[in-house]
A and B are shown apart, each in its own frame.
Chain A
């Protein structure tokens, strides 16, 4: 039982990065912009959070700076893809390269050293002391509750139960119709892409301030790409995205447990699990259930830039 409680606890901790980054990507893709820069944004956020914490000693300030850096990078990306309407795939790859490269260059001085302040686990009276459940569900830092509970529920409500959410989805599905209805396609796309980028960078801050409390060059290790894949698997829905993140946190946790308990499998092989698992989840569902394709389909207007005069 103790092993399982530990597994679940680690699954939340590890899955938080993917869940938060995937939430950000859901926002961007729902308004019709594919942001492939998530990997670079996580790296930038992770590095700037550590840099802030090293010099100020405040984890909250670190998170805030990461969100800000992500938002600014997102605005640059959105300027290129939404306003100038350059190719989203190329700009996304460029953002990944720039983010990864800049984070490695700027973060070199404090690479490898542990972060002085991290987000501490909350102790909730009564709940945290429960056997099994206390360890599995109620001994996390505050960000875990924000990522897995508050944020997805709020976004789900906003997207599916408010007029603004309907407008937002309309922009992603059929920008021409949304435009005709008086919704500003450019504004909607610009701000949600930037906001999504901020969340991706926030995932980076979560990575270095709560999950792996240190910064190094390879710390992101493809998590941004897994997050992008999870959004597709989650059918572009915030709650599904968070659950998918948790599932992958579980896969990662299995790898850790295997390493810690000396299972007779090389750690490199165990580290392959999340990537192979993502592959399987991207391919198997659409092959097995034809109906899934329609149900989980991407927004109709995705990756297509919107030209008002060329409808």
Chain B
């Protein structure tokens, strides 16, 4: 007689893990379809509409590229921190503060575009890094969970942007409500309304992937993330690594904010981050914190977000996409654990 039993393995094989990832996404979409049909909407018709409005026209593709860009920056930001075992739940805040700093440069520094734009990018990155500085130091020196501190900073950044956009930096022309005036410089466009943001994001992902895979620094970060004790014992500067990586993580999200305000939106306004930071966590987790994988999952999430805009015209809110995101995350987490199990066939005489 053959017995079948489940054995938990210490690591999941990549192929099985990937299969579970795909299955979890499909299952989440299926669950959403059921929920939609219960609420009296046709999931097939909605799905077709999402696909046709996204891929059917150049407008749809341009929108897709513009949604793709912030998701890659935020996804990379979270992924980089995850490499060393830190949870940056604050990409949303760093994105906002990066946009805030870049706007400050654009509004108050005069000069030719080729000087101002790099300066704005620098300001965005420094801003993002500054916004994660306190959680980073608290984690490194007082062992305070960065998960909650980075998250709390989100609310502060969002309130700050809302405040300057409705108060001190409010468009003086009186034409616009609750936003700054149009920035005098903008990121040049490449194709239609698509600016350099998405392309820079792709280059950044490739650069990070090479860095993580081929440099000593990337190797040490991986070791420090996998086993801090062993890394310390081997003489690696774990604390310095942690601080460096977390600041880099903030800087990437801040750059994303700069691209958003100087490329896509053109002015600073409340809610500019539009949950990108939170969805970025999802992008990073689905990609298993691999920079190249982030490109794929960010593309998928951009399609989903674009779908959310279509859903909005059907009486649903953009938050519906957040719920779908959560569903994918839940199934992915469960799938991750299940991928560790192996089915063993044991012959009765072996026992």
Chain A residues with CB under 8 Å of chain B are 36, 40, 80, 84-87, 89-91, 93-102, 104-105, 108, 217, 221-222, 225-226, 228-229, 232, 266, 268-269, 271-272, 275-276, 278-279, 282-283, 286-287, 293, 307, 309-310
Contacts and interface: CB of A to CB of B under 8 A. Distances in A.
Contact of B334 (A86, A93, A100, A293): A86
B159 interface: yes
Contacts of A100: 319, 322-323, 326
B134 A276 contact: no
Contacts of A232: 145, 148
B152 A97 contact: no
Nearest to A278: B152
- The number of chain B residues touching the other chain, given as a range, is 35 or more
Contact of A283 (B138, B281, B282, B316): B138
B334 A80 contact: yes
Interface stretch (B160-168, B196-204, B290-298): B160-168
B333 A86 contact: yes
Contacts of B337: 84-87
A229 B89 CA distance: 14
A93 B281 contact: yes
Contacts of A96: 326
Contact of A225 (B148, B333, B338): B148
Given A100-B323, A275-B155, 7 more contacts: A86-B333, A90-B333, A98-B323, A101-B325, A225-B152, A269-B159, A279-B152
B155 A222 contact: yes
Contacts of A226: 152
A105 B316 contact: yes
A84 B321 CA distance: 26
A262 to B, nearest CB: 15
Contact of B159 (A87, A104, A268): A268
Given A266-B163, A283-B138, A105 B148 contact: no
Contacts of A293: 143
A279 B153 contact: yes
B336 A86 contact: yes
A104 B163 contact: no
Nearest to A286: B142
A310 B10 CA distance: 10
Given A268-B160, A272-B159, A286-B142, A94 B149 contact: no
B326 A40 contact: yes
A256 to B, nearest CB: 15
Contact of A272 (B134, B156, B330): B156
A269 B156 CA distance: 8
Contact of B329 (A94, A217, A309): A94
B332 interface: yes
Contacts of A108: 315-317
Contacts of A282: 138, 144-145, 148-149
Given A90-B333, A276-B156, A105 B327 contact: no
A91 B323 contact: no
B317 A283 contact: no
A194 to B, nearest CB: 16
B344 interface: no
B320 interface: yes
B278 interface: yes
A297 to B, nearest CB: 10
Contacts of A101: 319-326
A101 B141 CA distance: 36
A105 B323 contact: yes
A36 to B, nearest CB: 8
A283 B162 CA distance: 26
B160 A272 contact: yes
B285 interface: yes
B326 A98 contact: yes
Interface string B294-324: 0000000000000000000001110111111
A14 to B, nearest CB: 16
B143 A98 contact: no
B97 interface: no
A286 B153 CA distance: 19
A90 B332 contact: yes
A237 to B, nearest CB: 18
List the 6 closest pairs (A to B, CB-CB), nearest first.
Answer: A101-B323, A97-B326, A104-B319, A98-B326, A268-B163, A94-B330
Contacts of B162: 268
Given A95-B326, A287-B142, A221 B155 contact: yes
Contacts of A278: 152
B151 interface: yes
A272 B323 contact: no
A133 B285 CA distance: 52
Interface in B121-138: 134, 138
B319 A105 contact: yes
B8 interface: yes
A105 B320 contact: yes
Nearest to A108: B317
Nearest to B328: A94
A85 B8 CA distance: 12
Nearest to A103: B319
B87 interface: yes
Contacts of A91: 329-330, 333-334
B207 interface: no
A259 B324 CA distance: 37
